[in-house]
Amino acid sequence: MFYNIYKFFTFIFSAPIIIFFFLRLIRKKETKKSIMEKIGFFSKKRPKGKLIWFNASSIGESLSVLPIIKKINYNFPKYNILVTTSTVSSFKILQKRPSEKFVHQFSPLDIDFIAKKFYEYWAPDLIIFVESEFWPNLIFRAKKNKIPSIVINARISKKTYQKWNLIKKTTQKLLNSFNLFLVQDNETQKMLKKFNIKNIKNVGNLKFLSQKLPINKNELLNLKKMISKRRVILLASSHQGEEKLIVSKIKKLSKTFNDLLFIIVPRHVNRSSEIQNYLYSKKINFKVRSKKEIIEKETFCYLADTIGEISLFFYIAKIVIMGGSYVNHGGQNPIEPSHFNCALIFGPYMQNFQKISDNLLKNQAAIKTDSTSSIEKIIKDLMTNPKKIEKLSRNLNNFCLKEKQEANAIWTELNIFFKNHLK
């Protein structure tokens, strides 16, 4: 019943939805290419042979599947791979990863006639949904077409579970459309079982299989020349409001540590003007990377408002403050900085990575602050005791290596599934 209502309204409001996406084009959140592909006009030909479709969403999900794609390329070279993502930024990031062989297409809007057109054109032989991208029209049409489908790295929050439970019968029908759930934690497994989902396997977190983010060596060399021997604190993947909470705290530290450089990498680079205006209002001495401005001795803050360069700043940072954790967003992936020699700090809002963050704290691989008020004190302590930074960094790296070994079970399960369903 609920699905029929959903299907009806997505059809009725398809025109306004499409218009909304064209308005996003004006705001530079979409491109002509992304919109056309999302509404069913495809720019690439479907390769001949069997096709595995990965449906990811953001940068994090799309990057997390690259190790799996690499293994498919090696073990099943005749299989073609399609990767769909929702954001322009994720597409730009994937463009910089040519080592893995796949075709990229922007995710179709979850409107039934668009989903139908998508399936007719790409005709996937197997579908892999990443984490929690559960779009009813896409899922039910896959089942109608008798295409086997999997969810990998499945994660369900308590909030999501409560919403799904309000429409329990529809949720059961939707989730039972999948042939296999590979979940990342015990909590998700327990919640899925409450919807009578049987084919569930807890195999660890896919993101621990991620490789070290690529670094442009020339850009790294230029950056090192600019910062010289200054000590770097990085606010990574910040969200709206976080800069206001944190900048003043770090500014106070610069009075004690005159060699301090504070780097901000916003999660969404289209917020650059907003952040610049705030820094101007606080009379902060800053430079902007997108303007190709040079870091000077007097520069306190460097706004790194470019796409796909965060690895550069992980590399040079001694201390990383994880964005999305000081406003109620749910945090950002704390695994990414683990490949680099840095100490990790995050705030109270890490619910999107709850198990990981809890285990990081348990293994003394990160520091949690309940608010921004204690950041100044904690960073001061770390900067005056470099051995504490080394210990946190070492513990972070060791923890992620251990989790990576457990997550190798993901490929084992996928390998079995491929052999059974892609004969």
**DSSP characters over 89-115:** HHHHHHHT-TTS--EEEEPPPS-HHHH
- DSSP letter assigned to residue 351: G
Residue 59: name the closest of 106, 102, 93, 98 by CA.
Answer: 93
Give the largest Cα separation in the chain, rounded.
66
Q: Point out the catalytic residue in the list 61, 131, 242, 309.
A: 61
Length of the chain: 423
User: For residue 412, which phi and psi values (nearest 5 degrees)?
Assistant: -55, -45
| Residue where the block lists tokens 């084919």 | 199
- How many other CB atoms are found less than 10 A from the CB of residue 197? 19
Is position 61 annotated as part of the catalytic site? yes
| Residue where the block lists tokens 């945090």 | 331
Q: What's 358-382 look like in SS3?
A: HHHHHCCCCEECCCHHHHHHHHHHH
User: In the β-sheet with 149-154, what is the strand arrangement from edge to edge?
Assistant: 103-106, 80-85, 51-55, 126-130, 149-154, 180-183, 200-202
Q: Which residues are catalytic?
A: 61
